Amino acid sequence: PNDTHPDVPLGDETMAVLRREVGTKRDFSFEVANHVDIGERLGMFDFATGSKVCGSRFVYLTGAGAMLELALINWAMQKVVSKGFTPMVVPDLVRQSTMEKCGFQPRAENTQVYNIESSELCLAGTAEILLGGVYMDEVVEEKKLPIKMAAFSHCFRTEAGAAGASTRGMYRLHQFSKVEMFVVATPEQSDALHDELIGIEEEMYTELGFHFKVLDMSSEDLGAPAYRKFDIEAWMPALERYGEISSASNCTDYQARRLNIKYRPSAVDGKKQPLAHCHTLNATACAVPRMIITILENFQNEDGSVNVPEPLQPFMGGLKVLTPEDVAASSK
């Protein structure tokens, strides 16, 4: 694994340190419904068909559910592009060797990775891997750094060992959509960029009106590539707990060494400088299922309707409220 930042708390996930808390828990005057019941009542989810056609942990998003996913993706992409990221749509399949160079283990026991039989390809669990591979085996001029990329992709995870009520519904799926940010930088830039990435996430979720915590994650929760990782956990009222909706990691040169991503420092006194390894960082802009859970559970109304967060309304055809009446009308 990578080294850890000196400020990273040592121990398991219970040792994570609170960096910031935004907003407050909503005080409901009625019994809170969970996202599955809300979504099915609004005609947004079809878990029965997902199970029939594909198996457990799959869902068909229908009606307002499909529109909400597309709204979240378009809103998130617009936000990150405004922050200087180059938008991309990347493949869903990737070479096992590229995945391994990014610090993932497709061949490990209890792996989260779906491998394609009789092939060196596997289904990517995150666009981080595809974006990490863009500059593999390349040398970048220092003046071009940092390079900021953002990708929409489907993510595939076996979710081996995941079970329990907290994983019901949308919380842990085998396939979901995500917008991911990725940065290639110099070592001197990476700490400030890590703060920038978590700042973008905080700004986005504040705009949507979420109540969330920002955590500096502990050493046992970092995974192999991360030098330091900040997680954002949003309040999910029906689950009666905070659930992770996003993270931002500084992987320093861990991935760049394996991917062979180097840069040439600017000349000093006219003399060429030796090549050095870049630093890489990644951050989730929008993991759709967890965002949908947070929206439905926090912005539900007593009559079964759900308020659409204002920033998403232009991407929902101006719709401000999702109502059961809309579902009934569309089914006639």
Residues marked as catalytic: 157, 172, 244, 247, 290
Within 13 A of 26's CA, how many CA atoms are on the CB side? Answer: 21
Distances (CA, A) of 2 to 168, 222, 223, 252, 258: 33, 9, 9, 8, 12
| Mutual angle of helices 64-82 and 288-298, in 10-degree steps | 110
Q: Which tokens is 201 given?
A: 């996430």
Question: How many beta carbons lie within 10 A of that of residue 56, not counting itself?
Answer: 10
Q: Which tokens is 130 given?
A: 């595809």
CA distance 261 to 276: 9
First to last CA, the chain: 57
| Residue 141 contacts residue 184 (beta carbons within 8 Å) | no
CA distance 212 to 202: 9
CA distance 299 to 172: 21
CA distance 231 to 228: 10
Q: Which tokens is 177 given?
A: 């959509």
| Residue 33 contacts residue 300 (beta carbons within 8 Å) | yes
Q: How many residues does the chain have?
A: 332
The DSSP secondary-structure symbol of 160 reads T
CA distance 12 to 14: 6
3-state secondary structure of 295: helix
Q: Which residues pair with 247 in a beta bridge?
A: 231
Q: Which residues neighbour 314 within 8 Å (Cβ) at sequence distance 6 or greater? A: none
